[in-house]
Amino acid sequence: MTKSNAFIHWRATARQFFKFGIVGGCGFVVDTAMLYFGIYALGLGRIAAGLFSFPFAVTVTWSGNRHFTFKHAPRTSATRQLAKFAAVCAIGLVFNRGTYSLLVSTVPFIYDHPVVGLLAGTGVGMFFNFFAAKRHVFGA
Protein backbone atom coordinates (compact mmCIF):
# COMPACT_ATOMS: atom_id res chain seq x y z
CA MET A 1 0.00 0.00 0.00
CA THR A 2 1.47 3.33 -1.00
CA LYS A 3 1.76 6.20 1.44
CA SER A 4 -1.08 8.01 -0.34
CA ASN A 5 -3.36 4.95 -0.26
CA ALA A 6 -2.56 4.37 3.42
CA PHE A 7 -3.59 7.94 4.24
CA ILE A 8 -6.83 7.60 2.27
CA HIS A 9 -7.60 4.32 4.07
CA TRP A 10 -6.81 5.88 7.46
CA ARG A 11 -9.01 8.89 6.71
CA ALA A 12 -11.93 6.68 5.65
CA THR A 13 -11.55 4.61 8.82
CA ALA A 14 -11.41 7.76 10.96
CA ARG A 15 -14.59 9.03 9.28
CA GLN A 16 -16.32 5.71 9.96
CA PHE A 17 -15.14 5.77 13.58
CA PHE A 18 -16.58 9.26 14.00
CA LYS A 19 -19.91 8.11 12.56
CA PHE A 20 -19.77 5.02 14.77
CA GLY A 21 -19.35 7.38 17.73
CA ILE A 22 -22.41 9.41 16.71
CA VAL A 23 -24.48 6.25 16.45
CA GLY A 24 -23.00 5.10 19.74
CA GLY A 25 -24.13 8.36 21.34
CA CYS A 26 -27.70 7.60 20.28
CA GLY A 27 -27.32 4.08 21.62
CA PHE A 28 -25.96 5.50 24.87
CA VAL A 29 -29.10 7.61 25.31
CA VAL A 30 -31.28 4.52 24.82
CA ASP A 31 -28.99 2.49 27.07
CA THR A 32 -29.19 5.10 29.81
CA ALA A 33 -32.97 5.41 29.56
CA MET A 34 -33.43 1.66 29.78
CA LEU A 35 -30.87 1.38 32.60
CA TYR A 36 -32.81 3.84 34.73
CA PHE A 37 -36.10 2.22 33.70
CA GLY A 38 -34.69 -1.09 34.90
CA ILE A 39 -33.53 0.38 38.19
CA TYR A 40 -36.50 2.56 39.09
CA ALA A 41 -39.49 1.05 37.26
CA LEU A 42 -38.58 -2.63 37.39
CA GLY A 43 -36.64 -2.57 40.66
CA LEU A 44 -33.56 -4.26 39.23
CA GLY A 45 -30.16 -3.97 40.84
CA ARG A 46 -27.50 -1.87 39.14
CA ILE A 47 -25.78 -4.79 37.40
CA ALA A 48 -29.01 -6.53 36.36
CA ALA A 49 -30.35 -3.23 34.99
CA GLY A 50 -27.12 -2.83 33.00
CA LEU A 51 -27.65 -6.24 31.44
CA PHE A 52 -31.34 -5.48 30.84
CA SER A 53 -30.58 -2.26 28.95
CA PHE A 54 -27.85 -3.74 26.75
CA PRO A 55 -30.03 -5.43 24.05
CA PHE A 56 -31.93 -2.20 23.48
CA ALA A 57 -28.68 -0.32 22.86
CA VAL A 58 -27.39 -3.09 20.59
CA THR A 59 -30.52 -2.96 18.42
CA VAL A 60 -30.40 0.83 18.07
CA THR A 61 -26.69 0.90 17.28
CA TRP A 62 -26.92 -1.93 14.76
CA SER A 63 -29.63 -0.07 12.87
CA GLY A 64 -27.74 3.21 12.97
CA ASN A 65 -24.51 1.61 11.84
CA ARG A 66 -26.24 -0.32 9.05
CA HIS A 67 -27.92 2.80 7.67
CA PHE A 68 -25.36 5.51 8.50
CA THR A 69 -21.84 4.40 9.42
CA PHE A 70 -21.52 1.49 7.01
CA LYS A 71 -24.28 2.37 4.56
CA HIS A 72 -22.05 1.52 1.59
CA ALA A 73 -21.06 -1.89 2.94
CA PRO A 74 -22.31 -4.95 1.07
CA ARG A 75 -25.90 -5.73 2.09
CA THR A 76 -26.71 -9.01 3.69
CA SER A 77 -29.85 -10.25 5.36
CA ALA A 78 -30.82 -7.82 8.13
CA THR A 79 -31.57 -10.70 10.50
CA ARG A 80 -28.22 -12.36 9.84
CA GLN A 81 -26.39 -9.06 10.16
CA LEU A 82 -28.14 -8.20 13.44
CA ALA A 83 -27.22 -11.63 14.79
CA LYS A 84 -23.56 -11.09 13.84
CA PHE A 85 -23.61 -7.59 15.33
CA ALA A 86 -25.16 -8.94 18.55
CA ALA A 87 -22.45 -11.61 18.72
CA VAL A 88 -19.72 -8.99 18.34
CA CYS A 89 -21.41 -6.83 20.98
CA ALA A 90 -21.72 -9.84 23.29
CA ILE A 91 -17.93 -10.13 23.24
CA GLY A 92 -17.68 -6.35 23.69
CA LEU A 93 -20.05 -6.79 26.63
CA VAL A 94 -17.10 -8.16 28.61
CA PHE A 95 -15.29 -4.83 28.22
CA ASN A 96 -18.38 -2.62 28.40
CA ARG A 97 -20.42 -4.12 31.21
CA GLY A 98 -17.31 -5.47 32.93
CA THR A 99 -16.08 -1.90 33.41
CA TYR A 100 -19.56 -0.72 34.39
CA SER A 101 -20.06 -3.56 36.90
CA LEU A 102 -16.66 -3.04 38.48
CA LEU A 103 -17.28 0.68 38.90
CA VAL A 104 -20.83 0.48 40.29
CA SER A 105 -19.68 -2.23 42.69
CA THR A 106 -16.63 -0.40 44.02
CA VAL A 107 -17.11 3.36 43.65
CA PRO A 108 -19.91 4.85 45.78
CA PHE A 109 -20.26 7.94 43.56
CA ILE A 110 -20.79 5.75 40.51
CA TYR A 111 -23.24 3.54 42.40
CA ASP A 112 -25.24 6.71 43.10
CA HIS A 113 -24.83 7.92 39.50
CA PRO A 114 -24.68 4.74 37.36
CA VAL A 115 -24.71 6.73 34.12
CA VAL A 116 -21.06 7.61 34.82
CA GLY A 117 -20.17 3.91 34.96
CA LEU A 118 -22.21 3.31 31.85
CA LEU A 119 -20.27 6.03 30.03
CA ALA A 120 -16.93 4.56 31.12
CA GLY A 121 -17.96 1.08 30.00
CA THR A 122 -19.22 2.39 26.69
CA GLY A 123 -15.92 4.14 26.06
CA VAL A 124 -13.91 1.01 26.85
CA GLY A 125 -16.07 -1.22 24.64
CA MET A 126 -16.31 1.22 21.74
CA PHE A 127 -12.90 0.52 20.23
CA PHE A 128 -13.31 -3.25 20.25
CA ASN A 129 -16.85 -3.03 18.90
CA PHE A 130 -15.87 -0.66 16.07
CA PHE A 131 -13.05 -2.75 14.67
CA ALA A 132 -14.86 -6.07 15.18
CA ALA A 133 -18.08 -4.78 13.59
CA LYS A 134 -16.19 -3.16 10.71
CA ARG A 135 -14.47 -6.39 9.85
CA HIS A 136 -16.86 -9.17 10.86
CA VAL A 137 -20.32 -7.65 10.47
CA PHE A 138 -20.23 -4.97 7.80
CA GLY A 139 -17.15 -6.08 5.87
CA ALA A 140 -16.24 -2.44 5.30
CB 61 within 8 A of CB 130: no
Q: How far is CA 70 from CA 17, 33, 111, in A?
A: 10, 26, 35
Query: Contact 92/129 with Cβ under 8 angstroms?
Result: yes
Q: CA–CA separation, 129 vs 18, rounded Å? A: 13
Would you state the pLDDT for residue 126?
A: 93
Mean pLDDT of 58-86: 94
Q: Is residue 54 classed exposed, middle or buried when 0-12, 13-18 and 19+ CB atoms within 10 A define those classes?
A: buried
Q: Given this model, what pLDDT does residue 7 score?
A: 83
Does 1 score more than 80 pLDDT?
A: no
In the chain, % of residues over pLDDT 70: 99
Share of the chain above pLDDT 90, in %: 89
Backbone angles phi, psi at 71, to 5 degrees: -65, -20
**Which among 15, 17, 37, 12 has a CA at the least distance from the CA of 126?**
17
Are 65 and 138 within 8 A, CB to CB? Answer: yes
Amino acid at 40: Y
* pLDDT of 55 over the 70 cut: yes
**What is the average pLDDT value for the chain, to the nearest integer?**
94
User: Packing angle between helix 46-64 and helix 114-136, nearest 10 degrees?
Assistant: 40
Q: How many domains does the chain have?
A: 1
Domain of residue 88: give its range.
3-136
Distance, in Å, from the CA atom of 139 to the CA atom of 135, rounded to the nearest integer, reads 5
